[in-house]
Amino acid sequence: MNDDPIVAEVQATREKIFAECGYDLDRFNAHMREVGERLKREGWPMANRPVVRRSTSHQSTPQESFIVREDPPSSTQD
């Protein structure tokens, strides 16, 4: 367990907000988006990170790979 008082405070605050949202993840996320938008309007600096959504469907579109793939070596057998 982490004994850092700052981490403990963040976790306690998150738990309090989550309880206020009825432990509903959609309500919690909506609340956090609203808070983020309010803070932006007030001029607080915000990290500009793209939203990554993962599909739960087995028929999702193929995503770009960051792995370099090489063609297999050509056969030298004649």
Domain membership of residue 25 (yes or no) is yes
pLDDT in tens, 11-64: 999 999 999 999 999 999 999 999 999 999 999 888 877 777 776 665 555 555
Domains: count for the chain: 1
- The answer as to whether 56 is a domain residue is no
Give the CA count within 13 Å in the CB-facing half-sphere of 66.
0
Residue 3 lies in a domain: no
Whether this model's pTM surpasses 0.85: no
pLDDT at 21: 95
**Does 73 fall in a domain?**
no
Contact call for residues 28 and 17 (beta carbons, < 8 A)? yes
Q: Is residue 37 included in any domain, yes or no?
A: yes
Q: Which domain holds residue 26?
A: 19-46
* Nearest alpha carbon to residue 17 among 7, 5, 31: 31
Residue 72 located in a structural domain? no
In a domain, 38, yes or no: yes
